Structure 1
Amino acid sequence: MNPPPTAKRVSRLSDEITLQLERWITEQQLSSGTQLPTEKVLCERFGVSRAVIREAISRLKADGCVTTRQGSGAFVAARPGQGSFRLVRGLEHSPPILSDEMSDIFELRYLVETGAAERAALRRTAKDLDRMRDVLGRMQDALAAQADAVGDDDAFHVAIAAATHNSQIERFQAFMGGQFSDSRAPTWSSDGHRSGRAREAQAEHVRIFEAISRGNAGAARRAAEAHLVSAARRLGLDPLRWGGDKTESTR
């Protein structure tokens, strides 16, 4: 059941207020233990209801940015980004918000995954290739069965990161895999199978793998770039927003 319009509006406003509070904490360089203004003051400052402020504070608390004490209010626990990291929204919100924020997600994926593919081509071992080949096989089975393969899609990109033999790249990709899952979900949905998105994505995965297998770093980067550009376009996003169109002229 879809949430009522009022609930959606509160959620969207809370997203905006969460970001504004994050920026304010950072800009003011508020240290751990600093008490935030009261709900009443925050309502007046941002011109929103208590429900919006409470949801925003709840999100900051979940992110490890603030703590709350019953009867005392909210306190800074860590500056944004120092406690934990999340992508602000998933796919359940309205199209205008989806377009802007999903473009940001794809730009982040673009930066991470193209570099990882390039390094993987230079450093991969036979064991790394076997790992990627195994995940590709599972995605191929999911394609034949028109099944969900988001987890395997995540695993494929983690396998590429592992092939860089840089443990920090692998750890970051593994951490972000769950965050990126929302941007991969439409590919492996029922509609994604019917429309051909899953089939196209799998062909792109194979091209990335083949370039890495050949040890061609340039081709691996270009294949990863092309995959991200195509994936963005399949979702109706404009790669021009983050410079992702350059692959069209370099392939």
Structure 2
Amino acid sequence: MNASPTAKRTSRLSDAVAEQLERWITEQHLTSGTQLPTEKSLCERFGVSRAVIREAISRLKADGCVTTRQGSGAFVAARPGQGSFRLVRDPEHSSSIMAGEISDIFELRYLVETGAAERAALRRTAEDLERMRAVLARMQDALVAQVDAVGDDDAFHVAIAIATHNLQIARFQAFMGAQFSDSRAPTWSSDGHRSGRAREAQAEHVRIFEAISRSDAKAAREAAQAHLVSAARRLGLDPLLWAGDKTESTR
């Protein structure tokens, strides 16, 4: 039996609401256990029925983004994706990331973030640019105050992924944000500020943003590539292990 037009419409609405809620959770850096607004509040916010809200919450629950408690409502789960995808670490050094593992993380970042920057340049909206601009401003403030801005660094790259308007790219970047944070932490550490790593990284972020704002896909990809290569070198890694079309380096 085919679904009724009403059922199809409800499903489309719930998908849209779920996407917006997931984006809101990511952008607000809501931690595990944070309670979401009530069904009534969500109905008013999105202008939809309780049925749509409940279906949206069910989808987010299935995706591992939220949990529900009988009589209490919906809550943010562990950061999206950690339950279904984790970086594999050396079992003998599970409490820290080893040099080879950081190199692997950078290769993954290289593949994801350069493509996302290119797509963002082609598809970004004024709202997307404003989101990126706001995060860049927070990182600039952190640079002046010489404080940690790893969360905002993560948020900048998530904002780029959101600007691709490909939900799967945006979700993957958000899912991997916590994992990528370990590779960004040295940039925003006290030593990172003293050595100039944070200042250099911020300048690279600005170049990526400027290319995206000009809708220059080639320049955006190249700026993202340069950022990842420079970031790797700042940490003493060899980007020839994974950057470029050809390499004589071997693993």
Normalised by the shorter chain, which TM-score bucket? 0.5 to 0.7
Distance in 1 (CA, whole Å) between partners of 2:241 and 2:119 is 26
Letter matched to residue 208 of structure 1: I
Letter matched to residue 179 of structure 1: Q
1:138 aligns with 2:132: no
Q: Any stretches of 5+ residues in structure 2 without a counterpart? A: 1-80, 247-251
Task: Give 2:112's aligned residue.
Answer: 112
Q: Which has the larger radius of gyration?
A: 1
Give the ranges of 4+ consecutive aligned residues of structure 1 lying more than 3 Å apart after TM superposition. Answer: none
Residue 100 of structure 1 and its aligned partner are, at CA, apart by 1.0
Task: Give 2:98's aligned residue.
Answer: 98
Letter matched to residue 125 of structure 1: T
- CA displacement 1:147-187 (0-9 Å, x = unmatched): 00000000000000000001111111001001100000000
8 Å CA contact 2:139–2:153 kept in 1: the answer is yes
Task: Give 1:201's aligned residue.
Answer: 201
Distance in 1 (CA, whole Å) between partners of 2:106 and 2:124 is 25
Distance in 1 (CA, whole Å) between partners of 2:235 and 2:107 is 14
- CA displacement 1:71-107 (0-9 Å, x = unmatched): xxxxxxxxxx9x62112349xx69xx72211110000
**Residue correspondences, number:** 163
1:177 aligns with 2:172: no
Task: Report the TM-score, using the length of structure 1 for normalisation.
Answer: 0.62
Distance in 2 (CA, whole Å) between partners of 1:98 and 1:185 is 14
Distance in 1 (CA, whole Å) between partners of 2:122 and 2:241 is 30
8 Å CA contact 1:225–1:244 kept in 2: the answer is no
8 Å CA contact 1:188–1:198 kept in 2: the answer is yes
- Give aligned-pair identity as a percent: 86
Residue 204 of structure 1 and its aligned partner are, at CA, apart by 0.1
Distance in 1 (CA, whole Å) between partners of 2:84 and 2:130 is 33
Letter matched to residue 190 of structure 1: S
Distance in 1 (CA, whole Å) between partners of 2:84 and 2:212 is 32
Task: Give 1:237's aligned residue.
Answer: 237
Structural mapping, 1:60-71, within 5 Å = none
Distance in 2 (CA, whole Å) between partners of 1:241 and 1:110 is 12
Residue 139 of structure 1 and its aligned partner are, at CA, apart by 0.0
Task: Give 1:122's aligned residue.
Answer: 122
Task: Give 1:157's aligned residue.
Answer: 157
Letter matched to residue 237 of structure 1: L
8 Å CA contact 2:229–2:243 kept in 1: the answer is no
Letter matched to residue 133 of structure 1: R
Letter matched to residue 216 of structure 1: D
* Shift in CA distance, 89/141, structure 1 to aligned 2, threshold 3 Å: farther
8 Å CA contact 1:123–1:163 kept in 2: the answer is yes
Where 1:128 maps in the other structure, the secondary structure is helix
Distance in 2 (CA, whole Å) between partners of 1:245 and 1:236 is 21
Distance in 2 (CA, whole Å) between partners of 1:245 and 1:189 is 32
8 Å CA contact 1:116–1:161 kept in 2: the answer is yes
8 Å CA contact 1:212–1:220 kept in 2: the answer is yes
8 Å CA contact 1:229–1:245 kept in 2: the answer is no
* Shift in CA distance, 190/89, structure 1 to aligned 2, threshold 3 Å: farther
Distance in 1 (CA, whole Å) between partners of 2:178 and 2:116 is 17
- CA displacement 1:10-32 (0-9 Å, x = unmatched): xxxxxxxxxxxxxxxxxxxxxxx
Task: Give 1:85's aligned residue.
Answer: 85
Distance in 2 (CA, whole Å) between partners of 1:179 and 1:243 is 20
8 Å CA contact 2:110–2:228 kept in 1: the answer is yes
